């Protein structure tokens, strides 16, 4: 019996016979192997050339070097970021309510998840977070494309970090990781005032709530102007910067544009910042922010809250634009100022009280800064079980005419407006 083995699969197996011997008698003759032909496989099928081996070796070495470099660079950058996060600068030591680590805030906000995003704007993004003790916070990531961003970040820390008042949004602290700047505040569950004034909220604010919110913010501003060791000019008082806590009480926030100076000091600045519709007219010419310019902005807020209208409403063309101060002033001159009241309140207020508050708003917006009341006087009008009667000389200064203080640039200084 004889035969050859071969593959049973799809592979092909080739056989080469160099010699054979067989017999039908059962005695096989020996094969003389000395005369067998020489057979060897081609060199290409059983080994690599020297050049190929050298190329593979060099490639492996290069790949190894690249891997080592990438891993080393990764660990270097990681260590550098950790060192930058731990660096404490002089200004941080000076204003130190609390410095959060980036890891703490990332964990509190679920990695700054979009599900936790409360809002965004020119200032940056604000996220909702929860600390390990279950207290809720709001984390504001400050835009920092330039030195101005860092200046505003430091201004907010230097002011809010040391201010303590029930009607100011309390700052818990901050975080700085390399160039990333974050501010941490108490979370205000009811959001900002503008949502309840200009839009369609689930729950409409009645007059008592609106008056209380105005009184709250007035007390906060009075503290900034008169109740602290320095005068703090907010420079961006507006309804979207007024936050509402769980009891619907007003708190003034966002101190990124605030300026601090001594009570005897004369303010000096050449850069006008703020929001269109809230800027006092003297800012466009003098470019000096004072407590009186804050009073003007608060006067606009009074008119917004009472009338339920934005300070400037753009029409289809310029002729249809509506300025709230002009509207209320015209109705006041006609003896019909109460007609400016938000119709959604459906007349559920005392007309005399409402008229007094509208007059107060107009006085605060007087084009002459010297004729505006101080925040002490504004608080005296707004606080109490009933709105107190204002002094005649305080409210009898409003007449038709004058500027509307819309923040237009009539020269002087650099103008930076948000809208």
- Structural domain boundaries of the chain? 91-186, 194-418
Q: Give the chain's mean pLDDT.
A: 79
Report residue 268's pLDDT band, with 50, 70 and 90 as the boundaries: confident
- Determine contact, residues 358/324, Cβ cutoff 8 Å: no
What's the rounded Cα separation, in Å, for the pair 150 and 182?
11
- Determine contact, residues 321/286, Cβ cutoff 8 Å: no
Using DSSP's 3-state secondary structure scheme, residue 413 falls into coil
Residue 388, number of CB atoms within 10 A of its CB: 13
Q: Which residue has the higher pLDDT, 47 or 111?
A: 111
Query: Which architecture characterizes domain 91-186 according to CATH?
Result: 2-Layer Sandwich (3.30)
State yes or no: 359 annotated in a binding site: no
Q: Which residues contact 109 (CB under 8 A, 6 or more apart)?
A: 116, 127, 128, 129, 139
By DSSP bridging, strand 271-275 and strand 414-418 are parallel
Residue 355, number of CB atoms within 10 A of its CB: 17
**Residue 174, beta-bridge partner list:** 99, 183
- Determine contact, residues 301/242, Cβ cutoff 8 Å: yes
71-75, 120-124, 254-258, 346-350: least confident range:
120-124
What's the rounded Cα separation, in Å, for the pair 99 and 110?
19
Q: Which residues are catalytic?
A: 236
51-55, 207-211, 284-288: least confident range:
51-55
Token code pair at residue 84? 């930058």
Tell me how far CA of residue 50 lies from CA of 43, 59, 108, 117, in angstroms. 12, 14, 60, 62
Q: Which residue has the higher pLDDT, 168 or 1?
A: 168
DSSP 192: B
**H or E, element range at 376:** helix 375-382
Segment 370-378 mean pLDDT: 92
Phi, psi (5° rounding) for residue 63?
Answer: -60, -40
Token code pair at residue 189? 């569950």
Report residue 414's pLDDT band, with 50, 70 and 90 as the boundaries: very low
What CATH number was assigned to the domain covering residues 194-418? 1.10.510.10
Token code pair at residue 132? 């390990």
């Amino acid at each position: 019996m004889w035969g050859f083995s071969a593959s049973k699969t799809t592979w092909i197996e080739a056989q080469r016979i160099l010699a054979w011997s067989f017999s039908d008698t059962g005695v096989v003759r020996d094969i003389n192997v000395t005369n067998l032909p020489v057979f060897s496989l081609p060199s290409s099928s059983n080994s690599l050339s020297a050049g190929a081996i050298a190329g593979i070796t060099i490639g492996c070495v290069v790949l190894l070097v690249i891997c080592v470099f990438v891993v080393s660079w990764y660990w270097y950058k990681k260590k550098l970021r950790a060192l930058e996060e731990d660096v404490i600068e002089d200004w941080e030591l000076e204003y130190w309510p609390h410095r959060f680590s980036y890891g703490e805030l990332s964990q509190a906000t679920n990695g700054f998840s979009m599900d936790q995003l409360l809002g965004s704007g020119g200032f940056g993004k604000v996220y909702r977070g929860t600390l390990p003790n279950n207290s809720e916070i709001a984390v504001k990531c400050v835009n920092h494309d330039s030195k101005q961003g860092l200046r505003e970040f430091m201004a907010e820390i230097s002011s809010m970090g040391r201010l303590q008042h029930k009607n100011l949004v309390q700052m818990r602290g901050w975080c700085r990781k390399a160039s990333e700047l974050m501010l941490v505040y108490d979370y205000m569950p009811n959001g900002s005032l503008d949502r309840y004034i200009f839009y369609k909220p689930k729950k409409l604010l009645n007059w008592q709530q609106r008056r209380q919110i105005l009184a709250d913010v007035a007390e906060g501003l009075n503290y900034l102007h008169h109740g602290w060791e320095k005068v703090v000019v907010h420079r961006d008082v507006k309804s979207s910067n007024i936050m509402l806590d769980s009891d619907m009480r007003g708190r003034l926030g966002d101190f990124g544009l605030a300026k601090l100076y001594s009570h005897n000091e004369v303010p000096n600045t050449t850069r006008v910042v703020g929001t269109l519709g809230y800027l006092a007219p003297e800012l466009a010419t003098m470019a000096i922010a004072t407590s009186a310019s804050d009073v003007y902005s608060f006067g606009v807020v009074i008119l917004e809250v009472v009338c339920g209208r934005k300070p400037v409403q753009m029409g289809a063309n310029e002729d249809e634009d509506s300025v709230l101060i002009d509207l209320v002033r015209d109705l006041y001159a006609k003896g019909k100022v109460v007609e400016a009241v938000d119709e959604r309140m459906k007349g559920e207020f005392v007309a005399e009280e409402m008229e007094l508050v509208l007059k107060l708003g107009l006085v605060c917006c007087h084009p002459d800064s010297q004729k505006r009341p101080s925040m002490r006087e504004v608080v005296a009008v707004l606080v109490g079980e009933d709105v107190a009667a204002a002094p005649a000389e305080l409210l009898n200064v409003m007449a038709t005419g004058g500027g509307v203080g819309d923040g237009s640039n009539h020269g002087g200084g650099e103008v930076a407006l948000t809208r």
